[in-house]
Every structure is written in C-alpha cells, then in structure tokens.
Amino acid sequence: MTYQFMQNALLSAFLGGITCSIIGVFVVLMHMPFIGVCMSHAAFAGALLGLWLGFNPMIGAFAFSLGAAAIVGPLADRGELNPETSIGVIFSLMLGLAFLFMGLMPGPKSAALELLWGSILTNTREDIIVLGVVAVLVVGIVILFYKEIQATIFQRDMARAVGIPATVMLYSILFLTGATITASFSSIGGLLIFSLILNPAAAAYQLTYSMKRMFLLSAIFGVLSSWVGLLFSYLFDIPSGATIVVTSSLIFMLAVIFSPKRKVKRWQNKPLLEAK
Amino acid sequence: MRNSGDCAIDIENAVVSYREDIALRGVSLKVRRGEFVGIVGPNGAGKTTLLTIVNGMGKLLQGKVRVLGFTLAPGNGHSLRKKVGYVAQVQSIDPRMPINVREVAMIGRYGRLGLFRKPERNDWKIVDMALELVGMTHLASRPIGHLSGGEQQRVAIARCLAQEPEIFLLDEPTASLDWKAKTDIMELVKRIHDLRGLTTLFVTHDLSALPIACDRIVLMKDGFIWDEGSTKEQLTDEKLAQLYDLPIAEVAKRRREAALA
C-alpha cells in the first residue's frame, strides 16, 4: 500500500462521501428511494454492458441511469400514487440485464466483480477528476439554487404555482443523481452505492429540523463513513466498499437511537424544543 | 360599460384539458378587479381546472384567456404564476420535514426574487407581516409538519400574502378541516379580501363552506358554467336541484334537516 494509493483513496472517499450524501438528502426528503435504487441498478447494468462490448463502463453507467430516470421521473412527477410496480419492474429488468451482460462476457469476471463491490484503492487520477467535477457540480448547484431546491423538495406543485421552475429542478436532481452514481461507481461499487447515498442523509434526517443543517450533517456523515470505513478496511484488510457502507449504517442506527424526532406525532399540543 | 382595464380575468370559450380528460368544455367568465367570486358545483364540474387556467398551469386547448391584461398561450403560463396566489387543499406533510413555518411562508416570495437573489431583510419583514395577519407569529419557528390542518392552511395563506399577488385563488381550502378551522379560514379570507382588495376566486364543493362575503356565485356543472349571480339568486332550492340532479322537494328537505345552517 503506497502513500499515493492511500492519498487517492482518501480523496475519493472525501469527494464521493460528500456527493453521495448530498444527493441522499433529495432521495430521503422527496420520498424517492426506489427511484434511486432503480438508477443505481441501471447504472450497474450499463457499466457491465460497457465492459462486455469494450467501451468505457462509465459512459454505459451514465447513459443507463439517465435512461432509468427518464422513464421513472415522469411517474414521480405526475404524483402517481403507486409507482412502485413500474419501478419494481424496471429495477428487476436492470438487475437481470446486469447479470446477463456479466454472463455474456468472455474470460474472467474480475473486472465485473470489481464494479459490483468497488475498489476505491485502485482509483486512478481520472476517477478522482470525475468525482471532483461531479462534487463541484452538486455542491455548487445546491448552494446556487438553494431556495428553489428547498421549495421543490417541500411541495413541488406549490413551488410550481409560485413561479419556481420545479419541473426543471426535479429533472436536474435526477440528472445529478445519475452523475453521482456514475462517478462513485468505481469507489463503492454498483451494489453498495445506494447505501452510501441513503444512509448519511437518513441519519441527518433524524437529527435536525433545518434543511441547511441536514445537508451539512449528511455531508459530514458521508465523509465520516467513507474515511472510517477506509481506515478499518486498511487495518483489517477487508473490502473497502463494504466497510464504508456498514459504517454508514452504524451511524444511521446511532442517529435513530439519539433522535429527538423519535416520538413525533401528527401535531403536538405540548410545546416542542423550538427548532431554530 | 365596463372597460377592459377593470377586468382582472377575462375567459372566453375556454376548452381546457386536465390529465386525459377535457375538463372545461367552453367556459366564459369575466371577473372584475377586487371581486370575490365563489365557485360551486358537484365533483368533476371543472372548478379546479378553471383555477389552473387563471394561474397559467392548465392546458388551454381552445378559446381566449386574458389574466391581468396578459394573454395566455401554450407555454407562457409561468410568468403569470408569480402574480397569482394559489391555496390548495390541506396536504399531508411529513412531520419530520425539515422546514419551519416562517421558511414556508417565505417560499411565496421565491418566484418574485428570481433564480439568483437571496431573500433580504425587507423580504423577511413582508413574511413576518403576513404571518401576523394570519395569526401564526407564535408558531413561526415550529416545523411545518407539526401543525394542525387549519394551522397549515393559515400558513399557506400567509405564503400567498407574502407573494403579494394580484389574484387570490383558493381551491377547497377548508376541505377536511374541523368546523372551527373551517370558519377561521373563511373569516381570514374575507378579512384579507377586505384589507387588500384582492381579486378572489374561492372554489368549494361544500355549500356550507361558502363565504357569505361573495360578491357573486358561479355554478359549474360538467365542464360548463351553468349559471351565475348573487348568493341569494343562485342558492335557491330550484337551482340546486338542477345543479345536483335532485328533486326540488329533496333539496328543500335536506336543507331543512342540515343540523347547522
């Protein structure tokens, strides 16, 4: 384990942790975990297609995840009460395609398996640049358009009614989700990527009534999970993607245990601690 | 004779679709500035669709619509939305949603601010005044998901006020609220209309939730405006019987037997 590898891994973990966890805030608050999972599996199928046919797996991953978003996005947009069936069908289709492509690939499947559980320790400079660009994009858009994002997350129809381009925001969020999944693939792997997106944000959700703070906490948990996970993976020589995800789950469990929102009912007659 | 400058809303033979159905089949309506119009009718009459045409969110297939002097055409609706405030039915809000009452009210100003401006002190002043007008100042820091339905509707009205609109649209604002909350909202809407002189359209399918303050009542049925006039003229047994396809005697009987007039 050379110094350069570790540096790359830490940087990847930092960038990936921030990006995934910020996207996670959208996934949690807009109640669209299934859409995110669908896109992750689509990206996985796309990446494997790339491996099989010999083109850059990242392009395949990006194209497929955006394709899934294009199908599943309008379902969410129209406020379909039960999009789960359609989403479930696409999800299983993607997983089926993924294993189909893996089976059709000639020779050893090691490259494919690496895409499954990630190999952050072999991240190249190119991987880091892609992660960096997506991180800047995601953080930049959240900061620049914070108020539009806040309104779109809260109530999309109402946001549209006051003159905010809520539909553009929704599709931008889906686009950024696809970009994040694609960029983080090589680090965390197709099967686990969604956990790093969901868990830090889900933990932050338990702990604050301020959306700004939720983004911040989520990012902190994301980076913490990534670095602690990396540390354990290095110390005990276990797969890094898996340790990162398990760490993020542990953080989530702690957040639930210590959550001030555990006993929240529909509305309270007695005064709560005032959230600032 | 009324000149067009007086006319806040001018709809001529509008045919409007909603999802896959034609919801308005040829509706004409003129609303003067500052008028308070109540819109009633059975479910599916097209009342909500009529509102979406006024705030530019509906799909106009045929006919002409001018709102605040602006002619609506396919695709140009969004600039109208900033000037039109819209309060819908109470929607269930996640009690853990990280946004408080004051922030929700501020959303009303986001459309006006535009994409790159952040809210400034003056904007917060307007928001705080709106919250005071609706009586929600004491709950300003409370997470919105912790409020009762009636309280959430008052915040929605504050959000509209913060928007400083020229037209005020309310779509079944009192649905699923208890009697006190219902009458609170009706009283608040009347007070705001008197104070700010906003052109107001109030849609309801619940006749007991219709404010007596309406200048005019419009009856809708099957995608058409069926009749319009003063409250006294329109809410007679005969008209209601035809509107709801019930025998007059039945209408009279049910009105007598309603526990609370």
User: A215-260: per-residue pLDDT in tens?
Assistant: 999 999 999 999 999 999 889 988 888 899 999 999 999 999 998 8
Q: In whole angstroms, what is the distance from residue B82 CA to residue B96 CA?
A: 29
HSE at residue A140, side-chain half, CA atoms within 13 A, is 7
What is the domain range of residue A200?
3-257
B83 to chain A nearest CA, in Å? Answer: 8
Go through the domains of chain B in sequence order and give each one's CATH number.
Answer: 35-57+76-257 (3.40.50.300)
Q: In chain B, which residues have their Cβ closer than 8 Å to the Cβ of A273?
A: none
| Interface ipTM above 0.85 | yes
| Interface contact A267-B95, CB threshold 8 A | yes
Please indicate, yes or no, if residue A89 is contained in any of the structural domains.
Answer: yes
pLDDT of residue B206: 84
* Cβ separation A264–B96 shorter than 8 A: yes
Dist. CA B185–CA B135, nearest whole Å? 11
Tokens of A248: 């993020």
Q: Which residues pair with B65 in a beta bridge?
A: B11
In B, minimum Cα distance to A29 occurs at B97
User: What average pLDDT does this structure show over A67-84?
Assistant: 74
pLDDT value at position A276? 45
Tens of pLDDT, residues B224-244: 999 999 888 888 888 888 888
Torsion on CA atoms A52, A53, A57, A59, rounded to nearest 10: -150
Least confident of A135-139, B19-23, B61-65, B137-141: B19-23
Q: Does B116 touch chain A (CB under 8 A)?
A: yes
B22 with B61: CB under 8 angstroms?
Answer: yes
Residue A118 domain-assigned? yes
Would A222 be classed as within a structural domain?
A: yes
> Residue A268 domain-assigned?
no
For residue A273, tell me if it sits in a domain: no
Q: Does residue A147 lie in a domain region?
A: yes
Is A146 among the domain residues? yes
Mean pLDDT for the stretch of residues A108-115: 81
Spell out which residues of chain A touch residue B201, defining contact as CB-CB under 8 Å.
none
The enclosing domain of A209 has a CATH number of 1.10.3470.10
pLDDT at site A126:
86
Contact criterion met (CB below 8 Å) for A36 and A202:
no
Q: What backbone torsions phi and psi does residue A232 show, to the nearest 5 degrees?
A: -65, -40
Provide the phi-psi class of B255: left if phi over 0, else alpha when psi is between -120 and 50, else beta: alpha
Is residue A276 domain-resident? no
Number of domains in chain A: 1
Q: Which of B91, B95, B148 sits opposite A155 (nearest CB)?
A: B91
Average confidence (pLDDT) over B140-164: 95
Which helix (H) or strand (E) is A163 found in, with range? none
Q: How far apart are CA A96 and CA A99, in angstroms?
A: 5
- Report helix, strand and coil shares of chain B as percent, to nearest 5: 40, 25, 35
Interface of A with B in 16-35 (CB under 8 A): 29, 31
Model pTM score: 0.89
Among all residues of chain A, which has the CA nearest to that of B18?
A: A78
Extract the tokens encoding A254: 């702690």
